Structure formats: structure tokens, C-alpha cells
């Protein structure tokens, strides 16, 4: 029942380190840790669903797990969630949310997020960019306070 140990087992099975490589077992262990709120496990589980490793590919499930980790400040999940909104995978395509999530990941130092934020911005109006920046600031504050709900009507 220890989330950190469950996450580590998931990593071991995903990478075949010390055990035979087994994506289904990795999903099991990531899932147990993710259900307890472990952001690293939530991110990894989102990636497994996004790529269809050990589970059928399911973008909606990927978005669910990426969002839970992203709202805890996980930059990888923020980047991935930005990509899901950018491409409309598991969610309706939404450049404002794509920009917002890429912006949050970029603030954490993710250079790819900085690049993707710029690409998305070229498809947006100045008003949309302003809205996305405001949402990113509000979300960063919620993350700092450990609150949920970075997405809503804008």
C-alpha cells in the first residue's frame, strides 16, 4: 500500500529492470500509486494510456491522469496535457488550454514546452493569449495552494 514503492515497481516493470519487462504489470503498479495521489505515477499512467502500452490506447483516460498530475505541478504532465489540447486528443482541441499548460511547463524550465507554446501562440489572437496567460497564473496559484480545478470556463 506504499505509493512510492508501487510507483517504483511500475518503473521496474515498464523498463524491465530486475524483472521481465511487462507493461500490464507496470500499469497495475502505476495505477495503485496513482489512485493514492502520487503525481509521478499519475503522469506515467497517463503516458501508458496515451501510448497504448499495457492497456488499450485511451486518450480520455490519459487526459484524466495527466490532469491530476499537472494540477500537482508535474511539468511532464503539464507538457503532455498541453499536447492533448493542442491536438484535440481526449479533449476538444483548445489552443487556450494548450497554451496555458505549455506555459506552466515552460515556467518549470521545459524547453520543448516553450517551443510548443510559441507554435500554438501563432494560431491565437492577442486576446486568447492574454486569457491563456491569466489562466496559467491562476492555475499556478492553485497549484501552490494545493487546490484543484485549473480548468473551467474562461
pLDDT score of 69 more than 90: yes
> How far is the C-alpha of 119 from the C-alpha of 134, rounded, in Å?
19
Q: Are 111 and 117 in contact (CB under 8 A)?
A: no
pLDDT band at 13 (very low <50, low <70, confident <90, very high): very high
Q: Which pLDDT score, from 0 to 100, does residue 2 have? A: 97
DSSP string, 89-140: SSS---HHHHHHHHHHHHHTT-HHHHHHHHHHHTTS-HHHHHHHHHHHHHHH
Question: Percent of the chain, pLDDT > 90?
Answer: 96
Report the pLDDT averaged over residues 49-73. Answer: 98
Task: Tell me if the pTM is above 0.85.
Answer: yes
> How far is the C-alpha of 152 from the C-alpha of 49, rounded, in Å?
24
Amino acid at each position: 500500500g506504499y505509493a512510492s514503492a508501487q510507483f517504483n515497481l511500475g518503473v521496474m516493470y515498464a523498463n524491465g529492470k530486475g524483472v521481465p519487462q511487462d507493461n500490464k504489470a507496470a500499469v497495475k503498479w502505476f495505477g495503485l500509486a496513482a489512485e493514492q495521489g502520487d503525481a509521478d505515477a499519475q503522469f506515467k499512467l497517463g503516458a501508458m494510456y496515451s501510448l497504448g502500452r499495457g492497456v488499450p490506447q485511451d486518450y480520455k483516460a490519459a487526459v484524466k491522469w495527466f490532469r491530476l498530475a499537472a494540477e500537482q505541478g508535474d511539468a511532464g504532465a503539464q507538457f503532455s496535457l498541453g499536447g492533448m489540447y493542442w491536438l484535440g486528443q481526449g479533449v476538444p482541441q483548445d489552443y487556450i488550454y494548450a497554451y496555458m499548460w505549455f506555459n506552466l511547463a515552460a515556467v518549470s524550465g521545459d524547453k520543448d514546452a516553450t517551443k510548443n507554446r510559441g507554435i500554438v501562440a501563432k494560431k491565437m489572437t492577442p486576446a486568447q493569449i492574454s486569457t491563456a496567460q491569466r489562466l496559467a497564473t491562476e492555475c499556478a496559484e492553485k497549484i501552490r495552494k494545493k487546490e484543484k480545478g485549473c480548468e473551467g470556463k474562461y
